[in-house]
Chains A and B, each alone.
Chain A
Amino acid sequence: MNITQILFWLLSAMAIGSALMVITAKSPVHSILYLIVTFFAISGHYILLNAQFLAIVNIIVYAGAIMVLFLFVVMLMNLNAETEPQKNRTMQFAGVIAGGCLFLVLTAALNKSAGVNNITQMGGGNYGLIKVLGKTLFNDFVLPFEISSVLFLSAMIGAVVIGKKEQ
């Protein structure tokens, strides 16, 4: 077992453990903080797969921008464990059973499928560097890139229009 494999298992345990804490934590602020830990673990996986650009973007966009937005909203509304709505036990039990069934079916399908032992290359190659990705982005994906800027503009206007106080 070499260092990459040890890191893989460590990051996987961190991601799954903190993801479980996201859905079990009572206070919404704790949920958000655990979700940030999950995103850092996923960024670690990206670095192991030699996708440095995605790792940095994941930290900046997800852990940096989106989670701070969530934190802002939670603190603005003054939500905490006392104001947390409680679902009744039966519904919670049914939800866990349904999600567990999904997990079981997917793992069983994975168990039976061929080619699952193909090796995923860890590290190696310079595919994930900004230089290569920038060339691909501005050669092959110029149109989607420009369309996504329009999407951002409309999302920004939409957020302002929805969040505006009624006159």
Chain B
Amino acid sequence: MEIKWYIGLAIALFSIGVIGVLTRRNAIIIFMCIELMLNAVNLLLVAFSKMHAVSAAGVANPAVVSNAQIFVFFIMVVAAAEVAVGLAIIVMMYRNTHSVDVNFLNRLKN
């Protein structure tokens, strides 16, 4: 498969995530769209590493692939930690305002 199709797929998923963040007001769905964007980038990282698995001179380059996959693994680790804290904040916000609407959180505006 050419790399352009993978880049196209990642662009589409990332843009859908951006549109979701901009159009929805539910804090949980905004959070899910951020996860979607993270996953698009992960997929792109793996695809690029497989593109460079064999260099232009025809030499196999296994370190590139395993390093990239460890990177993706760390991104997943950080995302898991982020979700734990973020959901705790959303639960806290729901307990105070009885809503997950992000437009209620405009107290810093004035």
Query: Residues on A close to B: CB < 8 A?
Result: 4-5, 8, 12, 15-16, 19-20, 22-23, 28, 31-32, 35, 38-39, 42, 45-46, 49-51, 53-54, 57-58, 61-62, 65-66, 69-70, 73-74, 76-77, 79, 84-87, 91-92, 94-96, 98-100, 102-103, 106-107, 110, 115-122, 124-125, 127-128, 132-133, 135-137, 140-141, 144, 148, 151-152, 155-156, 158-160, 162-163
- Asked if B100 and A118 make an inter-chain contact with CB atoms under 8 angstroms apart, the answer reads no
Other-chain contact of B2, A120, A125, A160 (Cβ < 8 Å):
A120
Number of residues on chain B facing chain A (CB within 8 A) = 72
Using CB atoms, name the residue of chain B closest to A144.
B74
If the complex has contacts A32-B32, A95-B19, are A159 and B85 also in contact, measured as CB distance less than 8 A? yes
Contact status A23-B29, CB under 8 Å: yes
Q: What's the Cα separation between A165 and B32 when bound, in Å?
A: 25
Return 18 A-B CB contacts under 8 Å, by A number. Answer: A22-B33, A23-B16, A32-B32, A35-B36, A46-B43, A53-B69, A62-B35, A70-B32, A95-B22, A98-B19, A99-B22, A100-B19, A110-B7, A120-B1, A121-B50, A122-B1, A133-B66, A159-B85
Task: Name the A residues within 8 Å of B99 (CB-CB).
Answer: 85
Query: Which of B1, B7, B20, B36 meets A8, CB within 8 Å?
Result: B1
Min distance, Cβ A152 to any Cβ of chain B, angstroms? 6
Question: Min CB distance, A93 to chain B, in Å?
Answer: 9
Q: Contact flags (1/0) for B1-30 with A, using CB distance below 8 Å?
A: 111111111011111111110111110110
Closest chain-B Cβ to A108's Cβ sits at a distance in Å of 10
Distance of A49 Cα from B69 Cα, bound (Å)? 11
Bound complex: CA of A74 vs CA of B32, how far in Å? 12
Q: Which among B2, B35, B39 is the interface contact of A119 at CB below 8 angstroms?
A: B2
A99–B19 CB distance below 8 A: yes
Closest 3 CB pairs of A and B: A95-B22, A99-B19, A127-B65
Q: CB-CB < 8 A to A99: which residues of B?
A: 15-16, 18-19, 22-23
